[in-house]
Structure 1
Amino acid sequence: MALYKGYEQYKDSGLDWLGQIPVSWNLISLRYLCEVNTGSKDTQDSVEEGLYPFFVRSQIVERIGEYTHDEEAVMTAGDGAGVGRVFHHYNGKFSAHQRVYIFTKFKYCTARFIYYYLKSNLAFEVLRSNAKSTVDSLRRPMLTNFPVALPTLQEQDGITMFLDKKISEIDSLIEDKERLVSLMEEQRRAVITQAVTKGLKSGVKMKDSGVEWIGLIPETWEIKKIKYKFAIQKRINNHSDPVVLSLTQKGLKIKNLEDFSGQHADSYANYQIVNKGDFVMNSMDLLTGFVDCSPFDGVTSPDYRVFTQLNLKECGQYYLFYFQMCYFSRIFYGHGQGVSKFGRWRLQTDVFKEFPIMVPPIEEQFEIASFIETKVRDIDELIQLNQDYISMLGEYRQTLIFEAITGKIDVRELMMQEIVTA
């Protein structure tokens, strides 16, 4: 933090992750600074329009119809993916999940300081106490014995005021960049939709497509059903050690077999063979209708749909853009149906086969695909630049909190200046 100076004198904290702390600060176990308890509610107790906040094991705050606490508190997830990552600071009436730790009745410290301190540092101590890189649960001794480097109450107030102000500024910048990325993603979808549904030429004669959501299309285009342009494949794998492919919104990728949690190779006996150039669709759940064209030979989930272009003279990239337009516009999703009480959705094969697809002349297909690729590449580069900046801001925010809350930088004079000029 070259912009900020440090304290005049430091001492060794005795902790590798904490390093040196200002000589006037004291290292105190958390149990001497506050009470540590857990919530008493369960997930099923949440009420969509409840009167009070319900703190659970994620960053999302739910609602509940009754409260168990009316005080200032800091909270963190006691188990699950939120361990060392999810923190809340709240003052008022609330309830908390039974696997959420609640810190209250603070002595010699402010709740806001403990919030920032735990948010910045708890993961270091948790990971130090565990061999795994992720932790399933927090045990009470991890928290009660957690060492806190504590300055005076006046310094704590100055540090938290500084962080509140700076974090607000950083978060505002991040929100601006995220809005910009969202707008560029909308632009990306609009470019694809316009090109694959209306073509590139202005002023051409149009005709009714006969499909409500498509509307008018160039007169030289045709509307065909998918079953006439693609073959639905069902090639069953018979290899004992296949290359397994996984489909996400970033496309098909080779899945690390370690991610299968020890499944034996014969678990892939019902998987489908995918040849390079085949189209693969996720036909279930939230990714219903997402399609990619495989750059690999391999096998993929029996729940995916694999289909092959019949006329290889046509432009596969054009059809891929068309399918992705249908996914991002949720057109495929609208043709799916629920198949269980859990709300899972599936796009049935007979429905998929009858789905309409626009077929421009072959030369125009290649022109459209080339146009989209160029436009999308430019937009994607801008999106990546902004996402990199968002990541940089996030890292800076994290570093700033750690440096300030552990005394690596001295913000006392800065906050005095803020108070004087306010």
Structure 2
Amino acid sequence: MIDGLKPYAEMKDSELCWLGDIPAHWRVKRAKAVLRRIDVRSSAGAEELLTVSSARGVVPRRTANVTMFQAESYAGHKLCWPGDLVINSLWAWGKGLGVSQHHGIVSTAYGVYRARDASGILPRYLHELVRSSPFHWELQVRSKGVWISRLQLTDESFLNAPLVVPPLDEQAAIVRFLDHADRRIRLAIAAKQKLIKLLEEQKQAIIHRAVTRGLDPDVCLKPSGVAWLGDVPAHWEITRLGRLIKLTTGFPFKSDGFTHVDDDIRLMRGINVSPARLRWDNVVRWPMSERPNFREYELIPGDIVLGMDRPIIQRGIRLAVVKEVDVPSLLLQRVARIRVRGDLNAEFAALLLSGRNFASYLAPIFTGISVPHLSPEQIKAFRLALPRAEEQQKIVEDVTVRTGAIRSAIDRAEREIELLREYRTRLIADVVTGKLDVREAAARLPDEVESAEPARDEFTADEESDPIEVDDEAEIEGVAG
């Protein structure tokens, strides 16, 4: 994709640490020289609600995994139009900004900016620049506050930020090239996601058969008395999960006490719980000195954790087993910790709760609910068919062997997706800051039809909302009353 791309022939020092050298004919301008703040309010609050996604920029709220409550009325809230730059002032440092393609209502806490007449900047180029990884440094240092979770970017601070501005024809070439590159990368990601989905279905079929029928194909069956469970081996016991576990929900740690000091203890949030794995790419911590005060909420290897907000996402159920690499860590609210007791094998429990039966149990609970939330009582009320302890262990061992190659293939595909996303991030950074000259490459590109291709990474939404505070894509929740 970058074959044949070369640096510009003549460069100059931008005198900005995050920008470095830029093409000699490019200019650096203050944002206030090309943008102006606008503040237009809705009279009736009837326009479409918009929000800012860290992954997708400004999007209709109905397409985003936003858990924040809706106001009774949006009259008096801010409006934006296509081409306006919208910034969540409290999450600018977390990529909570973008140029809107929609007309609608945004939070009164957002900043809305519009290009000045004859500003010499294209909205599409501006979108790529302000969301690029180099410009992220500028947003971080200009966002002020005592706690990182409360850093705020004021209008004045942003409008004093430097923007690198190429000539208009080069901005158009940059946008054209990046659109083409992004389209190809998304197609490659979509193909790998399709493969992952097929592999997950194959894995789930193996697990479902094993945890509902056992390993003996000729076993005698009996009605379970549970509609979504069906017939089960006659010697298995029908029981409720609550009899077999100790369930603890997390402590409501206050966000103004969060730290980002590496030596402090990690907090296990909903954003960290994905299907079959824990993700620590977005982590907050609590002072290590206070760890003894929260022993009740400390996680140990073998614990099962379950995201209680939006527990079902495209990739499956947001449930994972805590491993050695995940500790020490403390449990935050809206995450459940499950510790088995009695005759229940922890690995068997993890297979059972990550499978189709638990999803079938949850489906009617969440019908008609805009923001699905699972309560401890609902978790404990789940009915299951329980084999004897030795049979549970054999099932776990059999499933581990039979799904090993599938899990390896999924891990490999996920790593390839991660590398593609990293490549896209680096490519955008190099192009919008003038490290690569794409003018000739853009001129040779064929016309392409965007609608024929995937609009976005399928699993970005999961990853954003897995945090719910932001997993499956981290939505920056900003439309609030």
Shorter-chain TM-score: which interval? 0.7 to 0.9
Q: Evaluate the alpha carbon distance shift between residue 370 and residue 37 of structure 1 in structure 2; reply closer, same or farther with a 3 A threshold.
A: same
Indicate whether 1:55 and 2:50 are aligned.
yes
Task: Indicate yes or no: 2:110 matched with 1:96.
Answer: no
TM-superposed deviation, 1:14? 0.5
The residue identity in structure 2 corresponding to 1:403 is D
2:29 is matched with which residue? 28
CA distance in 2, matches of 1:82, 1:376: 42
> Aligned letter for 1:409?
L
CA shift at 1:370, angstroms? 0.9
* AA matched with 1:225: T
Distance 1:344 1:213 in 2: 21
Q: Where do residues 76-95 of structure 1 align in structure 2 (5 Å cutoff)?
A: 76-83=86-93, 85-90=95-100, 93-95=103-105
Which whole-Å CA distance do the structure 2 matches of 1:413 and 1:406 have between them? 17
Answering whether residue 356 of structure 2 is matched by residue 329 of structure 1, we say no
Work out whether residues 89 and 111 of structure 1, in 8 Å CA contact, stay in contact via their aligned partners in 2: yes
**What is the deviation of 1:167?**
1.3
Residue in structure 1 matched with residue 239 of structure 2 by the alignment? 225
Counterparts in 2 of 1:232 and 1:406: CA distance versus 1, 3 Å: closer
**Matches of residues 188-337 of structure 1 in structure 2 within 5 Å?**
188-219=203-234, 221-226=235-240, 230=244, 248-249=273-274, 259-260=285-286, 264=290, 267-268=293-294, 271=296, 285-287=309-311, 308-311=340-343, 315-325=345-355, 328-329=358-359, 331=361
Which residue identity lines up with residue 416 of structure 1 in the other structure?
A
CA separation of 1:412/1:266 partners in 2, compared to 1, >3 Å: closer, same or farther? Answer: closer
Task: Specify the alignment match of 1:9 in structure 2.
Answer: 10
Equivalent pair of 1:66/1:95 in contact (CA under 8 Å): no
Moved more, 161-170 or 78-87: 78-87
Match of 2:19? 18
1:182 aligns with one of 191, 197, 200: 197
- Are 1:348 and 2:374 counterparts? no
> Is 1:126 the equivalent of 2:139?
yes
Higher relative contact order by CA 8 Å / sep ≥ 6: 1 or 2?
2
> Are residues 1:367 and 2:378 paired?
no
In the TM superposition, what is the alpha-carbon distance from 1:280 to its structure 2 partner? 5.7
Structure 1 residue 17: deviation in Å? 0.9
Equivalent position of 1:417 in the other structure: 444
State the Cα deviation string for residues 149-207 of structure 1 (Å, max 9, x = none). 22221111111111111112212222332333333333333321111002233344433
Q: After TM superposition, give the deviation of residue 70 of structure 1 in Å.
A: 7.9
Greater Cα shift, 161-170 or 104-113: 104-113
Q: Distance in 2 between matches of 1:284 and 1:126?
A: 32
Unaligned runs of 5+ in 2: 63-73, 249-264, 450-481
**Which letter maps to 2:418?**
S
Q: How many residues align?
A: 395
Match of 1:381 in 2: 408
Unpaired runs of 5+ residues, structure 1, are 235-242, 337-341
Which residue type is aligned with residue 170 of structure 2? E
CA distance in 2, matches of 1:112, 1:293: 42
Aligned positions of 1:156-175 closer than 5 A? 156-175=171-190
Alpha carbons of structure 1 residues 188 and 6: separation in structure 2 relative to 1, 3 Å: same
What CA distance in whole angstroms lies between the structure 2 residues aligned with 1:275 and 1:20? 49
**Per the alignment, in what secondary structure is the counterpart of residue 285 of structure 2?**
helix
Rounded to whole Å, the distance in 1 between the matches of 2:79 and 2:245 is 61
In the alignment, the residues of structure 1 paired with residue 128 and residue 310 of structure 2 have an alpha-carbon distance, to the nearest angstrom, of 35
Secondary structure at the aligned position of 2:16 is classed as: coil
Which protein shows a greater Rg?
1
Whether the aligned pair in 2 keeps the contact of 1:77 and 1:84 (CA below 8 Å) is no
Report the secondary structure of 1:102's partner residue.
strand
What is the alpha-carbon distance in structure 1 between the residues aligned to residue 135 and residue 437 of structure 2?
Answer: 22
How far has the Cα of 1:287 moved from its partner?
4.9
Q: Distance in 2 between matches of 1:161 and 1:222?
A: 62
Q: CA RMSD in A?
A: 4.6
State whether residues 196 and 321 of structure 1, in contact with CA within 8 Å, keep that contact through their aligned partners in structure 2.
yes
Counterpart residue identity of residue 268, structure 1: F
